[in-house]
């Protein structure tokens, strides 16, 4: 979840086009109403969830090692 959230936040913060869709609740809602293909094209490269290794060890704060 940490890597997925980090990927999503980074994409939003680094892309002016995407960030424009998250400036307020109305724009945010409009983004999710876009057709899937439009959202995918706007978003760009997807995160390959299969590339994320499963965490089996954690530090004292619950973060994966």
Task: Tell which residue, 28, 11, 10, 9, has the closest CA to residue 20.
Answer: 28
pLDDT above 80: residue 65 = no
The reply to whether the predicted model has a pTM over 0.85 is no
- The domain locations on the chain are 2-51
> What integer pLDDT is reported at residue 52 of this predicted model?
85
What is the pLDDT confidence band of residue 32, given thresholds at 50, 70 and 90?
very high
Residues 53-63 have pLDDT tens digits of 887 888 888 88
């Amino acid at each position: 979840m940490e890597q997925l959230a980090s990927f999503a936040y980074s994409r939003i913060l680094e892309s002016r086009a995407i960030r424009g869709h998250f400036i307020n609740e109305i724009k945010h809602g409009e983004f999710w109403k876009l057709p899937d293909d439009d959202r995918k094209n706007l978003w760009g490269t997807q995160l390959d969830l299969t590339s994320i290794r499963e965490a089996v060890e954690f530090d004292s704060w619950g973060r994966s090692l």
